[in-house]
Chains A and B, each alone.
Chain A
Amino acid sequence: MGRDGIAGLVCLVTSLALFAATIGLPEASLLVPVGPGFYPRIILGITAALSAALVIIDFTGRATRLEAPAAAPKNYRLVLVSFAIVGVYVALLPWLGFRIATLVFVLVMQVALEPPRSRNSWLRVLIVAVVTTLITYFVFERYLSVLLPRGRWTDF
């Protein structure tokens, strides 16, 4: 099965599961001729049909399969690492508070994307992290009155 087939199957299963979840919803009554489940069922029916179509097209191979030309090797490991770093940042944000979490995040992210090789590049990484944190903090808290998260552990 190709890429489209997998995507289609995932969407199909999700649509059907969500469709099943609409079954318990209150039904239409005299006062309200259209129940809350009416529209979701239409939409989920459409997604299910389109997903099924995607799977079928993939299986019958009607979509002419053209081999992609050898592209530059993709650095998926770095993508995964980046997602993980963002995930940890978001998870720790309410616990560490915006200032500490952001400082660490910008620092770690830069190091992950381009490992510093000299003392100067370490210095640059550090300066970017500090400046980003300070500027966002002051601009948002002081001038734009957006309250950024305080840390539950750090109270900072």
Chain B
Amino acid sequence: MYDLLFSGIANIVQIKYLLPLFLGTFIGVLGGALPGVTIAMTIIVVLPFTFSLDPLQGLAAMTGVYVGGSAGGLITACLLGIPGTPSAIATTFDGFPMVRNGEPGRAVWLGIWASFFGGLLGGVFLIAATGPLAAIALEFGPWEFFALFVFALSMVAGLTGGSITKGLLSGALGLVVTVMGSDPVMGAPRLTLGVGFLEGGINFLPVLIGVFAFSQLMSDIEKMGDAQQGQAAGPIPKLVVSHLKIIGEIIARPFLLLWTSFIGVLIGVLPAIGGSAASMLAYDQAKKFSRHPERFGTGAPEGIIASESSNNANVGGSLVTIMAFGIPGDIVTAVMLGAMTIHGIQSGPLFISQQSTLAYGIFAAYIVSHFLMVIIMALGARYMLRLTTVPKSVLIPVVLVLSVVGAYALNNTMANVYVLLVFGVLGYLLVKFGFPLAPLILGVILGDQIEINLIRSIMTDNNLWLFLTRPISGGLIVMSVASVVFALWQHRRHQKRNRHSTDGDADF
């Protein structure tokens, strides 16, 4: 394993791979630092640039975006009190107060080094766990895969959004999208609505870009018009610190670092919960375990360390799920999956054994990009504040052009651009009607696999009880049902509590 990892690193430091990795990390840090631009949006913008690269170049660039973005959010979170990405929200709690106490360098560099160590701990887990988990998944038959995908989908549907019915419906609508096209057994066209190009089925990337990018951009546009929020960046503070002292400050709290990174990894492995939940949970845990919880919120270093180590460790965990099972946990890994599909690479449990150069290349890219991130931050963290003055009216058209290019360049047809637009409108409407988008996207991604595995298992043996009597498959089905029941119970409890509290005091 370590031979493969070292050859992976030797491979990735070649300029051919190092350049896209560096650019990816750099753009990730920028996108992360820019309030209103999420890591997901950044990866969507980067995607079209990777089409003509070789697979490892493209995936290295995306890994860089992921790592850079998870760290980049802390700059604006600390210095302006505005999280650059949702996963940096918890960083503002103590980062901003610490900056106001006159320690901007300490706040920012605590965040950067915590991201670095948390990310590397996530990397240890990523490298150690992916192989064994994939080996377990290799024993899976179609029943288990069916059950696993259904479990992922039902968990996401239950976890996201306020209404479980809407979450489940959103996931099911995603599955409907994948039904359009030719059926996987006989190739008979179905539900093509008379549209010729639908016979080939709908590619999930334009759906994903459309649904996600439009809903986000249009929500930004809603808030535009009257008052322009051009953030005037004040004088940029100096961030000079003693790095040894900062690293010492982090290492002196080994339990905190390990525990919050572990939380990050764990949340990362579970699909669709994401970095923001990881950092909030880690922050909360750090506060609970602290001997001085009252110091949290006033510039406690523990708060910054917890939030930033967990959101970078989260990246490692998220990569485990995609590499071992082929289940994307968020938009970033979904786009990575799409990029693999473009290059004809089969994701899933066979990935790490059949594409070991690529798999270890991604591991190596993940590790190396943490070093690049620190270098980029050291050189440019101060100047990224200037970025916040770029107005939305410039960003939005540019992002839209790149989304259109991304959809078009998939296979050089306008058809995918039309899909992009249709799902852009649909995605925005769904958000307006209060539907969560994550289940829809996961449904579109997993739909084909759910159908194929269902049909494969029925064709192998038409006894449907096998889904329940095979232990792993049965266990996963029970867990899917349990996750929905749990979500319902939680929802009910939440509602009851709301009813008891003063009216109109709901946490919207």
Q: Which residues of A contact B (CB under 8 A)?
A: 3-4, 6-7, 11, 15, 18, 21-22, 25-26, 32-40, 43-44, 46-47, 50-51, 53-54, 57, 63-64, 66-69, 72-76, 78-79, 82-83, 86-87, 89-90, 93-94, 102, 105-106, 109-110, 113-114, 124, 128, 132, 136, 139-140, 144-149
Which residues of B from 167 to 195 have beta carbons under 8 Å from A? 168-169, 172-173, 175-176, 179, 183, 185-186, 188, 190-191, 193
The answer to whether B168 touches A44 (Cβ under 8 A) is: no
- B200 contacts which chain A residues (CB < 8 A)? none
The answer to whether B168 touches A82 (Cβ under 8 A) is: no
Interface centre among A35, A43, A93, A114 (most CB of B within 10 A): A43
Main secondary structure of the interface of A (DSSP, over half): helix
The answer to whether A39 touches B454 (Cβ under 8 A) is: yes
CA distance A109 to B218 in the complex (A): 12
- A82 contacts which chain B residues (CB < 8 A)? 217-218, 221, 396
A-B contact pairs, 11 of them (CB 8 A): A3-B433, A4-B434, A40-B179, A68-B508, A75-B223, A79-B428, A82-B221, A90-B420, A106-B397, A132-B398, A144-B52
CB B397 to nearest CB in A, in angstroms, measures: 4
From A39, A46, A102, contact of B451 by CB (8 A): A39
From A35, A78, A110, contact of B222 by CB (8 A): A78
Interface centre among A36, A47, A106 (most CB of B within 10 A): A36
Q: Verify if B356 is at the interface (C-beta below 8 Å from A).
A: no
- A47 and B176 in contact (CB under 8 A), knowing A69-B508, A86-B421, A147-B412? yes
Beyond A136-B401, A146-B405, list 16 extra A-B contacts (CB 8 Å).
A32-B186, A34-B459, A36-B185, A44-B179, A47-B172, A50-B165, A66-B506, A82-B221, A82-B396, A86-B424, A89-B404, A105-B397, A105-B401, A114-B228, A128-B394, A144-B53
The answer to whether B393 touches A110 (Cβ under 8 A) is: yes
Which residues of B from 449 to 468 have beta carbons under 8 Å from A? 451, 454-455, 458-459, 462
The answer to whether A145 touches B52 (Cβ under 8 A) is: yes
From A73, A90, A132, contact of B397 by CB (8 A): A132
Classify chain B: how many residues form its interface, as a range. Answer: 35 or more
CB B466 to nearest CB in A, in angstroms, measures: 15
CA distance A46 to B451 in the complex (A): 14
The answer to whether A110 touches B169 (Cβ under 8 A) is: no
From A3, A11, A78, A83, contact of B224 by CB (8 A): A78
Q: Which residue of chain A has the shortest Cβ distance to B412 in the bound complex?
A: A147
Q: Verify if B293 is at the interface (C-beta below 8 Å from A).
A: no
CA distance A124 to B420 in the complex (A): 29
From B402, B421, B508, contact of A90 by CB (8 A): B421
- Chain B 409-444, CB-CB to A under 8 Å as 1, else 0, gives 100101001101100110010000111000000000
From B222, B498, B504, contact of A67 by CB (8 A): B504
Q: Top 5 A-B pairs ranked by shortest CB distance?
A: A36-B183, A114-B393, A113-B393, A109-B397, A50-B169
- B217 contacts which chain A residues (CB < 8 A)? 82
- B222 contacts which chain A residues (CB < 8 A)? 74-76, 78-79
The answer to whether B397 touches A22 (Cβ under 8 A) is: no
- B186 contacts which chain A residues (CB < 8 A)? 26, 32, 35-36
The answer to whether A93 touches B409 (Cβ under 8 A) is: no
The answer to whether B459 touches A33 (Cβ under 8 A) is: yes
From B191, B396, B451, contact of A18 by CB (8 A): B191
From B48, B52, B414, B495, contact of A94 by CB (8 A): B414
- A145 contacts which chain B residues (CB < 8 A)? 52
Which residues of B from 472 to 508 have beta carbons under 8 Å from A? 495, 498-499, 504, 506, 508
CB A156 to nearest CB in B, in angstroms, measures: 17
Interface centre among A39, A51, A72, A110 (most CB of B within 10 A): A39
Q: Which residue of chain B has the shortest Cβ distance to A102 in the bound complex?
A: B401
CA distance A32 to B392 in the complex (A): 54
- A75 and B51 in contact (CB under 8 A), knowing A50-B168, A90-B417? no
- A128 contacts which chain B residues (CB < 8 A)? 394, 397-398
The answer to whether A57 touches B165 (Cβ under 8 A) is: yes
- A136 contacts which chain B residues (CB < 8 A)? 401-402, 405
CA distance A50 to B439 in the complex (A): 14
- A26 contacts which chain B residues (CB < 8 A)? 186, 188
The answer to whether A140 touches B396 (Cβ under 8 A) is: no
CA distance A139 to B225 in the complex (A): 33
